[in-house]
Amino acid sequence: MPAPLTRRMTLNDLRAARQSGERVAMLTCYDFTTAQLMQKAGVPTLLVGDSASSVILGHESTLSVGLDFMIELTAAVRRGAPLAWMVGDMPFGSYQGSIGQGVNNVCRMVKLSGCDGVKLEVAEGHLKLVRRLTDAGVAIVAHLGLRPQAVGLLGGYRFQGRTADEAMRIVTLAQRMEKAGAAALLLEAVPAVVAKAVVERTTLPVIGCGAGRYCHGHVVVTPDLLGWTERKPRFVPDLGNPNRPVDEMYGEYVRRVSERQYPADEHDYEMPPAEQADFAARLKG
């Protein structure tokens, strides 16, 4: 099993993993006590996700959680796992209004929580914001693919990159986010072939959340991993009996990611063959 963390993890560790081919495990975390257990179990990277809206507060979507709440959770996780590389998630409404609003709120998150990076669910319109935040010295994780904060626009929690058109938009946006200065990418619920194209056409660390084996790191929502939620997404690994001690399950998840046992074929989303052939032809062109 993985050993407890003994040194501070940094963005450079993610960059080194991309170069070396190592795989980095990430889990969501929402409180001090769980963060302590995760650091002891050797979980190197943590995401304080706005999924807290659902799994902590019981809302139907991520849209209800506020910035002050997310800052408090992120600060608690920082105190519990001071050695992990930790990403704070910006909630819906905290950065969409204007560039000035986004810069102020992201800087507030960093200053008050002590997080190492900040995650934004991005579209084309966020390129200027990412550039401004990068100029300010903030490590931005650009979240593409399925964006839960845009669930109303997307028409539900459906995996993205189903068609060649969708896939090319994801690849192109990933490239533009890199040029804008994003420090890393997070791809949620996309076929592995789409993630592979993003990995091959950018130089950033890519974290997958249901995005297949080609990503440099992998993240899942911890209550899903532990079997505590009613509907577990298809890309979440089965670690056995949910009554098993949770620190063992955290360690087992890290082991499977680092040894490339997760994700496997059964965790992937797949494009229809005709769309995949069209996507491959466009990439070559």
- DSSP helix/strand/coil, 139: coil
Instruction: Give me the residues paired with residue 208 across strands.
Output: 187, 218
Is residue 60 part of the annotated active site? The answer reads no
What HEC string does the chain produce? CCCCCCCCCCHHHHHHHHHHCCCEEEEECCCHHHHHHHHHHCCCEEEECCCHHHHCCCCCCHHHCCHHHHHHHHHHHHHHCCCCEEEEECCCCCCCCCHHHHHHHHHHHHHHHCCCEEEEECCHHHHHHHHHHHHCCCCEEEEEECCHHHHHHHCCCCCCCCCHHHHHHHHHHHHHHHHHCCCEEEEECCCHHHHHHHHHHCCCCEEEECCCCCCCEEEECHHHHCCCCCCCCCCCCCCCCCCCCHHHHHHHHHHHHHCCCCCCHHHCCCCCHHHHHHHHHHHHC
Rg (CA), the chain: 18
| Side chain identity at residue 256, one-letter code | R
Give one word for 261, left, alpha or beta, with left for phi > 0 and alpha for psi -120 to 50.
alpha
Query: How far apart (Å, rounded) are the C-alpha atoms in residues 151 and 54?
Result: 14
**Catalytic hit among 188, 200, 252, 270:** 188
Catalytic annotation, residues? 188
